[in-house]
Structure 1
Amino acid sequence: MSVTFASEFPKRTQRSKALFERAKLTIPGGAGSTARMPRNGWNPYPLFMEQGQGSRITDVDGNEYVDYLLGLGPGILGHRNPTVTDAVVRAIQEHGTSFGLPYELEIEASEKVVAAVPGVEQVRFANSGSEAVGQAVRLARATTGRRLIVRFEGLYHGWQDSVYWSNHVDLDRAGPADRPRPVAMGLGVPAELGDTLIVLTWNDFDSFSALMRERGEEIAAVITEPAVLNTGCILPEPGYLELLRSETEKAGAMLIFDEVITGFRIARGGAHEYYGVIPDLTTYAKGIGGGFPVAAIGGTKEAMRLIADGTYSHSGTYNANVVQCAAVSATMDLLAEPGLYERQRALGERLATGLEGIANDNGIDAYVTGLGTVFQLWFADGPVKNWRDAVAQTREGEFTRWYEEMVVRGVLFHPLQFENLFVSLVHDDRDIDDTLNAAADSMKVLASEFGRK
């Protein structure tokens, strides 16, 4: 069977290629984020987009795609949700954009977030997930008077120096699984900050318990995604989040949930609701604004007390601007629709199980891990429970070939195995059917290329 991608992609995306060459003249690397460049999987060049509507997106060459990238997660309500868009436009027309002072819409938005999330009693709005995580980590140090932060391999908590460590790390540099070494993930991160971090293997009960017995009184906070969504999709083993909660409480350390991706996506109350584990602090972005740029840090009143009395400065000119708060308020209203998450999780599960079945029917070893509205199809030779398993077990090249065959058939998601497919709350059965039909054809290509059926 012929290889579709190599022949079809250049023909289908001529204007994207031309725009990429033009962009490189004035934009470093040709894109506004390193995550959109060829070195991050978008080969031979990224698609340039024209517009998105609902669950579909169209590139500058006129190709339409069922969109499971969704801006890397923010498009929880699809593209250009009319309710949220109208609320933002109306707020700008009636109020303005940014005052540098509080206003009532900010209260309204915060009240709705607090009402949605169990255990969150107060919230401050910010501008990016990285910013919110950096604030949460520093606030934990300020609150506890301690300096050590515990984080886990394979999890990405943004680009700030304090947490930009041990993400997709070279295991030769990281050392043994029971006590990994912190490894800075980018140039310019001061090596001295490694002494403020303890890195562990995720889903390893024994190493975490041992650390807390030995050094619990030195630890300011443990930060984790409640489900790892920055190395594909890796779910917590039963009891693991509960262990993190109980051990941090015993040690007087804080537990921080990075819900930049899981927040408002897996349930209206995020991981708090879905897993029933309540951390001290939680960071949000992506889904909280229905596609608009907004982030937040939330927590109990006790966890937020230093912000509340001004002892800790959480500042930002654009914090809680009108666009953000209008988007959050409208999004929270839409997410309150009865049965919405149950319906869309079931839709996502139909897609996920369908993809797994098609792969297996073609003799391809692949399986799905997910939470309904976000999942990954692992091309793997065994179970993936942490970053080290992902390195050892996955066949990344096969996944990328699958992406290539899907994108020329009108289905878009991230080309790398260690990302995810996002299902919005507006995808429908037609989207799922179109995707499964494309998968049936693309898996036949993979089976032929990789020596299976």
Structure 2
Amino acid sequence: MSKLLNEYDYAAVHAQAQELMKKRKHLKRSAVEKYMKYFNDKCAKSKIETEKAKNAVPGGIQHNLANNHPFALAIEKADGPYLYDIDGNRYIDFLCAGGPTILGNNWPAVRDAAINQIRENGPVSGLYSVYERELAELIKKYYPTVELFRALGSGTEADIIAIRLARAFTGKKHIIRFSGGYHGWSDQLVYNDGCTTEAMKNGVPAECFQNTHEVPINDVEALEAMIKKYENEGGVAAFIMEAVGQDSGAVPTTKEYHKAARELCDKYGMLLIYDEVVTGFRLGMGGAQSIFGTSPDLTVFGKIIGGGYAGSGGIGGRKEIMSMLTAGVDASDNIKVKVGGTMTANPLTSLAGITVIKELERLNVHDALDKASDYFMRGIADLSEKYDVPAIIYHHSSILHIDVSGVQHVPYCIDSKDPQFQSQLEDAYMNYIEFSMALAAEGLIIANGGKTYLPYGSIDILDDALAVYERVFSQYE
């Protein structure tokens, strides 16, 4: 029913999404009931913990990755390829904390470096450490477009500074993004007119959106039209894009689109910003830009450059742009862009990031992951065919797309005014969350219905993971 697709062939992905809309299958109701019973019986402590948390934490969870169906699992141990919950259940970890634990959980070299740092020096001083320079030099080594690097506390912070820098450098005010792209939780970047709910606007003044605009993904003509629209109304400062497409490539970009975006930015005097929070050091040592062969003016980093430790993010790019940044208050130069952050570039996170990057190089991790991901995804395609389950199947290296719902493709396949739009969206969403529920009950964790990452430490248990997927696929009708 499905085959392994080329991750850069958007036309083929889109065609498969349309086919999925017509022939989407669902878990048997008996299977759903079985899996619900698993959670209620085998994850009883997690259920109690989730209810207790609601008395102290809004909604009971604090990260969207934990928003599992039917309730959040309380994890007490992460080790190697596995996660363990407070009920003693073991799960294969294909969530990888949203991507950053590329080596595997609690990787010995990273763990030992962190423990030694805490024991000998403590996690943070608020002052300069040599690890700041060493991390920046490593990033510069693998990203030729990064002439200077500035660490920040998160990907959201880095995206905020990226668009601030773009406006300061170009003297223009508008920002363009593609529909469905994710660039953190700042007021100017959180909302997508076409791909998020009205609730995303709550608490954000409407004027925060007036200079941020979106265009359909892979539509070069729409991008140029939007640039022209605002050329005489303050101009466009930058086009910011998730490097492999919407939601880590769930709706992928084409190589031609990247080339065209670079040309348009040059033509109209605007900056090209790559958000590589997920793809940086995961797709390869040089990230997505090394694959596309393009040169963004600014690159946003996160996740892996902190080695899976908190306070991980940063921005790098051309020296003439990055030199506009200053830490704290600098009264001597009013053209500087002010940026701060007490926990930014803390020694613990910086050292963890340095250690991970060196391990990636030492172990030639990406070559191994590329081969393993291809093997695994061909196995998934075979299972889709064996059980006649329509799916969209492809991978950006170790970022795996195994989509049996098509929920993120609904806006691209059906007009929002079509009577079928809402029913398709609702049906796809339930399919989406039940898929991840089934996988968890069978012993494998991904994000709620979607994000799936392969860690280096799981290469030896790929057949175990395929067995989990087979048990789930066999329950569809």
Same fold (TM > 0.5)? yes
Q: Which residue of 2 aligns with 1:280?
A: 297
Aligned residue pairs total 428
Single out whichever of 304-313 and 9-18 deviates more from structure 2: 304-313
Does residue 1:50 correspond to 2:67, yes or no?
Answer: no
**Structure 2: how far apart are the matches of 1:338 and 1:50?**
29
Q: Deviations over 1:356-401 (max 9, x none)?
A: 22122211111213212002112257995x9534986883433433
Q: 1:214 deviation in Å?
A: 4.5
AA aligned to 1:348 is S
2:339 match: secondary structure: coil
Q: How does 1:195-344 map to 2 (within 5 A)?
A: 195-216=210-231, 218-230=235-247, 233-293=250-310, 294-307=312-325, 311-337=336-362, 339-344=364-369
AA aligned to 2:360 is L
**Structure 2: how far apart are the matches of 1:99 and 1:151?**
37
- Residue 292 to residue 387, structure 1, CA distance change in 2 (3 Å): farther
Q: Which runs of 4+ in 1 moved over 4 A?
A: 380-384, 390-394
C-alpha RMSD over aligned residues:
2.4
**Structure 1: how far apart are the matches of 2:374 and 2:59?**
37
Q: 1:215 deviation in Å?
A: 3.8
Q: How does 1:55-70 map to 2 (within 5 A)?
A: 55-70=81-96
RCO (CA 8 Å, sep 6+): is it higher in 1 or 2? 2
**Structure 1: how far apart are the matches of 2:353 and 2:105?**
15
Q: 1:405 deviation in Å?
A: 2.1
**Structure 1: how far apart are the matches of 2:248 and 2:275?**
14
Q: Which residue of 2 aligns with 1:134?
A: 160
**Structure 1: how far apart are the matches of 2:182 and 2:407?**
23
1:133 match: secondary structure: helix
AA aligned to 1:74 is P
AA aligned to 2:266 is E
**Structure 2: how far apart are the matches of 1:382 and 1:424?**
25
Q: Which residue of 2 aligns with 1:423?
A: 454
AA aligned to 2:181 is L
> Is the contact made by 1:403 and 1:415 (CA closer than 8 Å) also made in structure 2?
yes
AA aligned to 1:191 is A
Q: 1:234 deviation in Å?
A: 2.4
Q: Which residue of 1 aligns with 2:132?
A: 106
- Residue 381 to residue 428, structure 1, CA distance change in 2 (3 Å): closer
Q: How does 1:179-194 map to 2 (within 5 A)?
A: 185-194=200-209
Q: 1:95 deviation in Å?
A: 3.1
Q: Which residue of 1 aligns with 2:45?
A: 15
Question: What's the TM-score once normalised by structure 1's chain length?
Answer: 0.88
Q: Which residue of 1 aligns with 2:373?
A: 348
- Residue 383 to residue 346, structure 1, CA distance change in 2 (3 Å): farther
2:76 match: secondary structure: strand
> Is the contact made by 1:347 and 1:429 (CA closer than 8 Å) also made in structure 2?
no
- Residue 167 to residue 273, structure 1, CA distance change in 2 (3 Å): farther
Question: What's the TM-score once normalised by structure 2's chain length?
Answer: 0.84
Q: Deviations over 1:237-263 (max 9, x none)?
A: 231011111111121111111111111
Q: 1:226 deviation in Å?
A: 0.8
**Structure 1: how far apart are the matches of 2:39 and 2:199?**
36
> Is the contact made by 2:240 and 2:273 (CA closer than 8 Å) also made in structure 1?
yes
**Structure 2: how far apart are the matches of 1:387 and 1:87?**
46
**Structure 2: how far apart are the matches of 1:203 and 1:146?**
24
Percent of residue pairs identical: 29
2:253 match: secondary structure: coil
Q: Which residue of 2 aligns with 1:180?
A: none
2:456 match: secondary structure: coil
Q: Deviations over 1:47-95 (max 9, x none)?
A: 0001011121111111111111111122112111111121122223333
User: Which consecutive residues of structure 1, in runs of 5 or more, have no partner in the other structure?
Assistant: 174-182, 448-453
